[in-house]
Every structure is written in C-alpha cells, then in structure tokens.
Amino acid sequence: MSSPEIASLSWGQMKVKGCSTTYKDCKVWPGGSRTWDWRETGTNHSPGVQPADLEEVVKKGVKTVVIGRGMSEALQVPPSTLDYLKKNGIDVVVLQTEKAVAEYNALAARGVKVGGVFHSTC
C-alpha cells in the first residue's frame, strides 16, 4: 500500500488525493488519512506534538514520519516525541508545513512507507 499524495494545501485546508474530506489538520499513512483532532490527546501549540499523536501513524508500519509545524511554525515538537520515533526505528523530518508537505509527497512518490501529521494554520 502506498502513501497517498497530499493534493493541496492552503491556510486551514488540506486535501489528500483519493479522499473527499477537506482537512484542517491531518494524519496520513500508507493507505489512508484522517482528521488530526488535537482534542483526542490534549495537544496544543506548546508543548506540541505528543507521542500519542503519532501512535496511530507509527502502527501503520511507516519508515519515516514527516511533521508539519504549521505555516508560521507555531506548533512545537518536544524532544520526547523525537525520542519516541527514534526508539521505534523511524526517521523523522520536522519542517514548516508547506515544506513538510513537499517532502512528504516526494518521499511518497519514491515509494517510501511514509506517514505524517500536518498542521495547516499558524
């Protein structure tokens, strides 16, 4: 199963190829995507992305996770989250969301088992 292409990104809106839903924030993995609802894990801009935000994506067997920190990089990524991914043998790329989407799409196009979490506003 391949990772779906992120078809479009603009402030507050993301579309994943093959999915009719428009996301504000989203999670993607080989074979799927869904809304990234911060309320599920109590995530806020600070301290930022929690290991719990990534568990679902990690369980899909990804080799790389791309984290989009928002258009202005307001979303933090604490060391504990990076440690969680490294302990699971997963490469991680943390970028501003537009750059993160470009990197994710490039990896997916090369057939890498890549997943990601992307914040589409601040």
pLDDT at 104: 98
Confidence of residue 9 (pLDDT cuts 50, 70, 90): very high
What pTM value is reported for the model?
0.98
Cα-Cα-Cα-Cα dihedral of 8, 12, 16, 17, to 10°? Answer: -40
The 10s digit of each residue's pLDDT in 29-81 is 999 999 999 999 999 999 999 999 999 999 999 999 999 999 999 999 999 99
CA-CA distance, 65 to 93, in Å (whole number)? Answer: 6
Q: Which residues on neighbouring strands pair with residue 13, listed in sequence order?
A: 10
Residue boundaries of the structural domains of the chain: 6-118
* 102-120 pLDDT, tens digit each: 999 999 999 999 999 999 9
Look up the CATH superfamily of 6-118: MTH938-like (3.40.1230.10)
In this structure, the number of other CB atoms found within 10 A of the CB of residue 47 comes to 13
Q: Provide, rounded to the nearest whole percent, the portion of the chain with pLDDT above 90.
A: 99
